[in-house]
């Protein structure tokens, strides 16, 4: 999975709790992305970051937050405001936003009980 790690692989949380998903890359890539995958809907972009200390909302950012304090790391927090958080979350990176051949991590499957 190309030098991108996501942890944990499976995550269970109670409704109403915030949860943070980890994403780390050692590819020296500037750009990083978070996607949500639901059956039959493909991938939907949550947030993306072009460079450290900068990030932009994607198509479905409501109920999520991110930070980019280090080039290697782009954690995603799923807040209690996200109405339907159970999904498969994928992190990706690319050399830059303009070179958008993306390398994906193995994913985290979040289940909210």
Which residues make up the interface to another protein (CB under 8 A)?
1-2, 4, 6, 35, 40-45, 48, 58, 90, 92, 97-98, 100-107, 109
CA distance 111 to 88: 9
> Which CB atom, from 4 or from 19, has the smaller least distance to another protein?
4
Number of Cβ within 10 Å of residue 85's Cβ equals: 21
Number of Cβ within 10 Å of residue 61's Cβ equals: 17
Shortest distance, CB of residue 46 to another protein, whole angstroms? 12
Indicate the burial class of 22 (C-beta count within 10 angstroms; 0-12, 13-18, 19 or more): middle
Shortest distance, CB of residue 4 to another protein, whole angstroms? 7
Shortest distance, CB of residue 16 to another protein, whole angstroms? 27
> Which CB atom, from 12 or from 17, has the smaller least distance to another protein?
12
CA distance 75 to 50: 14
> Which CB atom, from 17 or from 59, has the smaller least distance to another protein?
59
């Amino acid at each position: 999975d190309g030098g991108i790690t996501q942890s944990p692989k499976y995550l269970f949380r109670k409704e109403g709790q915030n949860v943070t998903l980890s994403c780390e890359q050692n590819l020296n890539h500037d750009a990083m992305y978070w996607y949500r995958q639901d059956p039959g809907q493909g991938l939907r972009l949550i947030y993306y970051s072009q460079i450290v200390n900068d990030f932009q909302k994607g198509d479905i950012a409501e109920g999520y937050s991110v930070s980019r304090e280090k080039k290697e790391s782009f954690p995603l927090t799923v807040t209690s405001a996200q109405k339907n958080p159970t999904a498969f979350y994928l992190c990706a990176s690319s050399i830059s936003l303009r070179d958008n051949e993306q390398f994906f991590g193995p994913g985290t499957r979040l289940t909210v009980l």
